[in-house]
Structure 1
């Protein structure tokens, strides 16, 4: 039940307002009954009719005001529950850190919108419709239990139709969810790959690929919507035949034999519409809820997922040792490297050299605790932290070849939202060589998508500033300057390697002699 994530007070208020809204139907039906009975009695009591009209007007004004509040509370619940789901899914997706983001993008956009429309809203409507059914049925029983019983028995037919169609809708929904995820990824690929598409004159191919994906998604959506539409039409047609035409025929016969007043018959028919229509609507809403099952399962997983609170742990660093490390891939069981030993002291600058494909990035992942070696140990301050992300990652900052930049300000991209004093921030800006950029643009300058407003060197320096701001004792640099020109590469290395506060472990396969002289140790891994 999605509504358990709403505030209990809001749900209680919504239920109360739903009861009042349902009473509106009973009020109108009762007034119509009284008016028709007066009109058909031959008394010509116009004053009494006008009095009932005045009561009806005042009553409707009251119900109108109540319904305004009902809609406001309903929209507030939808908003609040949506935020719970968005927060939970974002926490889960960020913590999982998967490279394949298409399902995550689809979940955060299309899937959550489907859950809002077809689950949260549907469940709120089901509360109101259920209360309408109970109120209308009870009032109808009081006025004519025979006719009410006929209408109730007739409701079995649309219920059977709903049960038969719900499984088909759930199956169609699952197909749509998959094609929608594929479509989201293809659109993302098309936009991110637009430069390559223009360069190699293959724009039409890339566009066609995305359009074909969109066609598959739209076909699946059309199929799901058609299934829902014909299921609803079948339910309504069955309801009209069994729940209206047949009972009204019986009611007409009873009225002809003087067993039913015209006002009572009209009222029962009106109430029947208001305890049959809610039932049909609830069946339809139930089908809508069923259509969200694949999306809901993902959200439930996120809601039940526990993530530790972020905390910045200050650590003391004396020594990092790698002892006889080897690594074997989990997919094809291939040994990437073996017998790796290394010792790093505070402030030491170490260069690890090996050709492309040796496994340098994998070695850094082992140090961080992201992966586990096939054999060997990683010790920090003498403590075994092998494969232990929680214990090891607070010792490291990381600079890679293609740092990720948020579409936000320079300040956010350096601090990543952490609260930092201006004094400390400007100290890091100076150490990273960003003084000129900040002086020219200001900390609130928006850098654009993926840092499109910055040069490659500026992006690297922003990544370095992030690392320095974290005050972690070891900086891992993964081919950090391989995409930069020699002059800029040298400048970046001077920034990193002349900082005595941190140890640096850099992996590279190509570096200039001048840069080599800046390192304390050079280890050729392939030898």
Structure 2
């Protein structure tokens, strides 16, 4: 039930307001019964009839005002639950990073909107329709239990139709969810690859590829919506025949026999439609809920996910030791078999090897993202091999292509953490960003992918991030390979002249001048 993620007070208020809204039906049915019985009694008490009409109008004004509040509370619940689901899913996706983001994008956009429309809203409507059913049924039984039983038995027909169609809807919903994920990825590919498409004059091919995915997605959506529409039409047709025509015929016979007054029959038909219609609507809402089952399954997993502490304490750093590390890929390719090294606090170590040796994989093993086949990684005399929680808080990371958020310079350095002005200024200074901050300020928007920054500035932002954490080991993964020689030298001077951190850099190409800045140079491809 999605509503348990809303505030209980709001759900209770909604239920109360839904009950009041449901009473509107009973009120109208009761007033119609009195007015028709008065009109058919032969009486000429016009004043009483006008008074009844006026009372009915006043009652409608009250229910209208109540319904305004009902809709407001309903929208508040939908908003609260939507935000809870978005936070849970985003937390799960960020905490379980997957380089293939198409599924996550589809979930956070289209799928969650489907859950809002076809699950949250449907379940709220089911509360209201359930109250309408209970109220109308109770009042109908009070007035004529025979007619009520006839109407109730007739509701079995739409129930059977719903049971048959729900499995088809669930199956077609999953097909649509899969096609939608593929379409989302194709659109992302088309936009990200626009430049290369223009370069090689293949824009038509790229567009056609995305439109093929769009066509598949739209066809799957059409099939889903069409199945839902057909199911609803079948349910309503069954309801009209079995729940209206047949019971009304029986009611007419009873009225001819003098067992029912005309006002009571009209009221019973009105009430019947108001406890049959809710049942039919609930059946349809169940189908709507079923259509979101594949998406809801993922959201339930996200809601159950617990985000672990980002600030796990670490022991004092006394050095890093790697002994006999070996790693084999899933395909069976051995990257390395016997890596040994020791890194002291503040020591600067350069690891060199040709492309394809597995340098980045080695860094991922150090972080605990991957687990070695054999060997140990010791920090503070503890084996942290393959243990992300125990290992990663010792390391900061400078990448060859840092990720830059479409936000301010301040956010990209702090990543939203609360830090003192002194600590921030110190990181900015050590990273060589003083001129940029003096010129543009920390609130400077950097643009998507850091469009407002140069390559060197982006690299320095990454260094400032790393320094701000205060972690004892900085891992640099080909950090300057995409920069010109002079800028590479400047970046290395920034990284390697800080005595407070150890640096472990992997590279396959670096100048002789830069090599002199390291305490150790280890050629990983040499025994």
TM-score (ref. length: structure 2) = 0.98
Given that 1:315 and 1:394 are in contact with CA atoms closer than 8 Å, whether structure 2 keeps it comes out as no
- The match for 2:435 is 436
CA distance in 2, matches of 1:153, 1:271: 15
- The match for 1:184 is 184
CA distance in 2, matches of 1:143, 1:130: 20
CA distance in 2, matches of 1:132, 1:261: 24
Structure 1 residue 312 displacement after superposition: 5.8
CA distance in 1, matches of 2:203, 2:233: 44
- The match for 1:94 is 94
CA distance in 1, matches of 2:69, 2:362: 60
- Tell me the SS of whatever aligns to 1:510: coil
After TM superposition, list the pairs within 5 Å mapping 1:89-238 onto structure 2.
Answer: 89-238=89-238
- Tell me the SS of whatever aligns to 2:443: coil
CA distance in 2, matches of 1:147, 1:195: 71
Structure 1 residue 62 displacement after superposition: 1.2
CA distance in 2, matches of 1:141, 1:387: 68
Please give the per-residue CA displacement for 1:100-119, whole angstroms capped at 9, x wherever unaligned.
11111111111111001000
- The match for 1:487 is 486
Structure 1 residue 247 displacement after superposition: 1.2
- Tell me the SS of whatever aligns to 2:339: strand
- Tell me the SS of whatever aligns to 1:318: coil
Tell me which moved more, 220-229 or 432-441: 432-441
- The match for 1:474 is 473
CA distance in 2, matches of 1:11, 1:287: 23
CA distance in 1, matches of 2:306, 2:246: 56
Please give the per-residue CA displacement for 1:325-375, whole angstroms capped at 9, x wherever unaligned.
11111x222211011110111111110000000000011111111111111
CA distance in 1, matches of 2:131, 2:309: 42
CA distance in 2, matches of 1:215, 1:247: 46
Q: Does 1:43 align with 2:48?
A: no
CA distance in 2, matches of 1:309, 1:183: 35
Tell me which moved more, 22-31 or 365-374: 365-374
Q: Does 1:58 align with 2:68?
A: no
Structure 1 residue 313 displacement after superposition: 3.3
- The match for 2:7 is 7
- The match for 2:307 is 307
Given that 1:353 and 1:507 are in contact with CA atoms closer than 8 Å, whether structure 2 keeps it comes out as yes
Given that 2:315 and 2:380 are in contact with CA atoms closer than 8 Å, whether structure 1 keeps it comes out as no
- The match for 2:459 is 460
- The match for 1:509 is 508
- Tell me the SS of whatever aligns to 1:210: helix
- The match for 1:288 is 288
Please give the per-residue CA displacement for 1:214-239, whole angstroms capped at 9, x wherever unaligned.
11000000000000000100000110
Given that 1:401 and 1:483 are in contact with CA atoms closer than 8 Å, whether structure 2 keeps it comes out as yes
CA distance in 1, matches of 2:403, 2:303: 27
Given that 1:327 and 1:336 are in contact with CA atoms closer than 8 Å, whether structure 2 keeps it comes out as yes
- The match for 1:275 is 275
CA distance in 2, matches of 1:385, 1:238: 66
- Tell me the SS of whatever aligns to 1:43: coil
Q: Between Structure 1 and Structure 2, how many residues are aligned? A: 526
CA distance in 1, matches of 2:452, 2:501: 29
- The match for 1:249 is 249
Structure 1 residue 427 displacement after superposition: 1.2
CA distance in 2, matches of 1:282, 1:382: 63
- The match for 1:19 is 19
Structure 1 residue 412 displacement after superposition: 0.3
Please give the per-residue CA displacement for 1:454-507, whole angstroms capped at 9, x wherever unaligned.
111111000000000000111000000011111111111111011111111000
- The match for 1:344 is 343
Q: Does 1:401 align with 2:403?
A: no
Structure 1 residue 137 displacement after superposition: 0.9
| Aligned-pair Cα RMSD in Å | 1.0
- Tell me the SS of whatever aligns to 1:477: strand
Q: Does 1:498 align with 2:497?
A: yes
Given that 1:317 and 1:380 are in contact with CA atoms closer than 8 Å, whether structure 2 keeps it comes out as yes
Q: Which runs of 5+ in 2 are unaligned?
A: none
Tell me which moved more, 448-457 or 234-243: 448-457
CA distance in 1, matches of 2:312, 2:500: 18
CA distance in 2, matches of 1:199, 1:482: 25
Tell me which moved more, 57-66 or 352-361: 57-66
- Tell me the SS of whatever aligns to 2:499: coil
Structure 1 residue 314 displacement after superposition: 5.5
Structure 1 residue 261 displacement after superposition: 0.8
- The match for 1:85 is 85
Given that 1:473 and 1:502 are in contact with CA atoms closer than 8 Å, whether structure 2 keeps it comes out as yes
Tell me which moved more, 248-257 or 42-51: 248-257
- The match for 2:322 is 322
Hey, which bits of structure 1, 4+ residues long, moved more than 3 A?
312-315
Q: Which runs of 5+ in 1 are unaligned?
A: none
